[in-house]
Structure 1
Amino acid sequence: MVFVFGVNFPEQTLVKRALETFYGIGPKASQGIMARFHIFPWAKVGTLKNAQVLDLTAELSDMKIENDLRREVQENIRRLKDMGTYRGRRHAMGLPVRGQRTRNQITTARKLNRIERGGTGRVQM
């Protein structure tokens, strides 16, 4: 088991896949990090040297990932709701925000938009 940024990874895991398990790191970011530290694209976590593991951990600690990024996204959504923008209202109602159609898929939006009211514990629409 290799310990990278507070997470244990099995030695057979690809470095690219291990990096992408962190919230906020996608394929492009993981490729960039691996290129910066000269790690082969098909390298496994078990083949990394201790210096490379320490470099990866240092790089990840400098980035805004996991809880910090989640908190920032929630603050941005809260800011949109407080300003009363169109996107904020769509977030508040649980409807698609980025222009998707609701003509045919409204039943899914209704399922996701249920609000629990009162102390009865029943879910109402």
Structure 2
Amino acid sequence: MVFIFGFNFTEQTLVKRSLETFYGIGPKVSQRIMARFHIQPWAKVGSLKNSTVMDLTAELSEMKIENDLRREVQDNIRRLKDMGTYRGRRHAMGLPVRGQRTRTQIATARRLNKIERGGSGRVQM
């Protein structure tokens, strides 16, 4: 097991996949991090040197990921709700925010926005 930024990864896990498990790191950012530390695209976590693992952990600690990023997103949504903007009201009602069709295809949006609504069917503000 390799310990990177508070998470254990098995030796066979790809470095790219292990980096993408962190909230806020996608394919492009993981590629950029791997290129910065000269890590091959198909490298496994078990083949990394200790110094490289320490460098990766230091790099991840400087980035805004996981709980800090989640908190920032929630604060942005809360700010939109408090201002009473159109997007804030859509978030509060659990409806699509970015102009998606609601006449026939709303089930997915309601399912995805359920967390932000608070669980009950009523609108909370």
Please say whether Structure 1 and Structure 2 have the same fold, judged by a TM-score greater than 0.5: yes
Please classify the TM superposition score into its range, dividing by the shorter chain length: 0.7 to 0.9
Q: Secondary structure at the match of 1:53?
A: helix
RMSD: 1.8
Q: Secondary structure at the match of 2:60?
A: helix
Rounded Cα–Cα distance in structure 1 between residues aligned with 2:68 and 2:107: 34
Which residue of structure 1 aligns with residue 14 of structure 2?
A: 14
TM-score of the superposition, structure 2-length normalised?
0.87
Shift of 1:108: 5.5
Mark the CA change 1:102 to 1:61 in structure 2 (over 3 Å): closer, same or farther: same
Counterpart amino acid of residue 115 in structure 1:
S
> Aligned pair 1:73/2:110, yes or no?
no
Which residue of structure 1 aligns with residue 60 of structure 2?
A: 60
Rounded Cα–Cα distance in structure 2 between residues aligned with 1:110 and 1:55: 41
Shift of 1:87: 0.3
Shift of 1:110: 6.2
Mark the CA change 1:38 to 1:83 in structure 2 (over 3 Å): closer, same or farther: same
Cα distance per residue 1:30-84 (max 9 Å; x no partner): 0000000000000000000001000000000000000000000000000000000
TM-score of the superposition, structure 1-length normalised?
0.87
Shift of 1:91: 0.1
**Structure 1: runs of 5+ lacking an equivalent:** 118-125
> Aligned pair 1:86/2:91, yes or no?
no
Structure label with greater radius of gyration: 1
**Structure 2: runs of 5+ lacking an equivalent:** none
> Aligned pair 1:115/2:120, yes or no?
yes
Shift of 1:115: 2.4
Give the length in aligned residue pairs.
Answer: 117
Determine what percentage of the aligned residue pairs are the same residue. Answer: 82
4+ runs deviating over 6 angstroms: none
